[in-house]
Structure formats: C-alpha cells, structure tokens
Amino acid sequence: MTKLIIAIIFLLIGIPAVSKAQEEDAFKEFANAEKIQMLKAYAKKDATLFQKHLEQLTSKYERLNATDQQKYVWEQWMIKEEYYLMADLYALAGEKEKAIRYLEKSENYDYMDLTTDHDLDNIRKDERFNKFLDSAKIKESKMQAYRQNADKSGVKYEPPAAMPVSVYVQVMRQFKVYYNAHNAEEIDNMFSDTWGDRKKSLYTTKVLDEQMKQYGKLISFKYMGQDEGDRYQAIALFKMVFEKSVHVMGISIHKDHKLGTFRPETSSPYIDKLLAKEL
C-alpha cells in the first residue's frame, strides 16, 4: 500500500511538468503556424488577413505571464519582424498612420532594410519615418565603428566567400541524411576546422534531440538565394520543410567545403519576404 501511495504521489508531481512542456511546444507550433499564414497573406498583399493572424499571435503571447514570455525569445523577435511586414503592407496601401505605428513597434533599426525597402516608399517623406531612419543610421555608425575596432585588434579572421550553389546544396544533402539519422557526431564533422576546439560540441546529441522534438524530421530543402544582409554576401539561405515547421536556415561554407556560419533557424524582414514567395 505504501509503495502504491508513493507511486501515485510521483505520478501526480510529474503531471504538471509534462503539461507545462506540452504547453510550451504547443505555443511554438502555434506561433510557427501563424507566421506561415502571415507570410502567405503578405505574398497576396492582404493587409487585413495579415493583421488577423498577427493579432491572434500577439493576443496569445500577451496572455502569457511575464516569466513564460521570457522563454519565447525567438517568438518575441518573430512578432517584431511581423510588425515590420505589417508596416510594409500598410505603406503599400497608403495607410501612412498605421504604417508608421507598426514600423515604430517593430524596432527594426536595420539601416539597409529601411533604405532599400521600396514597400516603404509611400512614407519616406513623413517626418516620423525620417526620424526613425536617423536612429537607424546612428546605430549603423556604431556598428561600423565596432567592426573597425575588431579589425584592428590583431585577431585574424578569414571571412567565408560565396560558393557555387552546387556546393551549398551538397552540404545540405549531407546534413539532411545525418539529421534524420540522428547522427550528431557526423554533423559535428561537417564543420570547418576554423571552429577549433568548439567543433566537437557544436551539434551535441542534446541539441539534436531538442531540434527533432521541435521540428520533426527534415522532409525537403530548397536553395532560396544569398542573404543580402550578410556583410560578406556569403550566407546561403534554404527553405527547410520539416514535419512540424517550415522556416529558413542560413549557412556559409569555408574553402575546405565545410560549414562555417550555421543558423538552424534564421529570420529577418528580407528573409521573410523570400520565404513568402515560396509558400
């Protein structure tokens, strides 16, 4: 009887933890599904439908308590990116007030985005837009100064160079095989020796377990182009179709034809627009 009571107590203690984990997984899946719907709406330039899904996502996020919200760093970033795309759609529709409001909510101070994004042309003469652009320019200047200081530090860095598309695709084929086979060791071996001692711990079994749980198996991938936001124009972007997720991965390849930069899930307004065309 005592053993039975103890077993029941442990069972009851374990229930909340399992339920909490399930809730976290459910929110991530919900957020990813809503993002896909927003990108489809963006491709159609449907501001009303886009806003509907954006409000559904932000409403669910805002209902979380402060502690839980901090767990979803990626989703917080995602919401800000979708604010930016919402600003794009309203600017295209000529609704300047809404466009400015969502641009400010996005906090996207990427100077290149703001100066090259023609979707924002309708609000470029607005004083508030130019004030936002000035803030972005200041941040860009600080980043350039930081890079110059880093270059003077004496630390040698060999930036990756753009490779033929066939090289990126071949590396992704290998990644797909090893990922679906749950072979973290072979994925580690795909990284360039420029990673040094860190190479052995870049893709641990634990990391692979977490990604497999969140994304499921990798079904297919498609080369989308180079990341124009990359300083060296050397990061290739791939549309990744998993069982539970569709998102973009970014990789660079060193001259030894091994992985340099590796972003399992990467996003920006520019990348979102590319992905929207593929959905």
Dihedral angle of Cα 22, 264, 155, 258, to the nearest 10 degrees:
140
Average pLDDT over residues 230-246: 89
111 band by pLDDT with thresholds 50, 70 and 90: confident
The answer to whether 253 and 214 have CB atoms below 8 angstroms apart is: no
Residue 174 burial (10 A CB sphere; 0-12, 13-18, 19+)? middle
Which tens digits make up the pLDDT trace of 167-224? 999 999 999 999 999 999 999 889 988 887 777 778 889 989 999 988 999 999 999 9
For 162-215, give the secondary structure using H, E and C: CCCHHHHHHHHHHHHHHHHCCCHHHHHHCECHHHHHHHHHCCCHHHHHHHHHHH
What pLDDT score does 31 carry? 92
Residue 3 reports pLDDT greater than 70: no
Question: Looking at residue 14, what is its pLDDT?
Answer: 53
Q: Which residue has the higher pLDDT, 140 or 101?
A: 101
At 44-82, the pLDDT tens digits run 999 999 999 999 999 999 999 888 888 888 889 899 999
pLDDT of residue 4: 47
The average pLDDT across 92-112 equals: 93
Helix (H, G, I), strand (E, B) or coil at 254: coil
Mean of pLDDT values over 253-274: 89
Residues 233-249 have a mean pLDDT of 93
Confidence of residue 86 (pLDDT cuts 50, 70, 90): very high
Does residue 22 register a pLDDT over 80?
A: no
The two counts, helices (H) then strands (E), for the chain are 11, 4
User: Do 251 and 150 form a contact (C-beta atoms < 8 A)?
Assistant: no
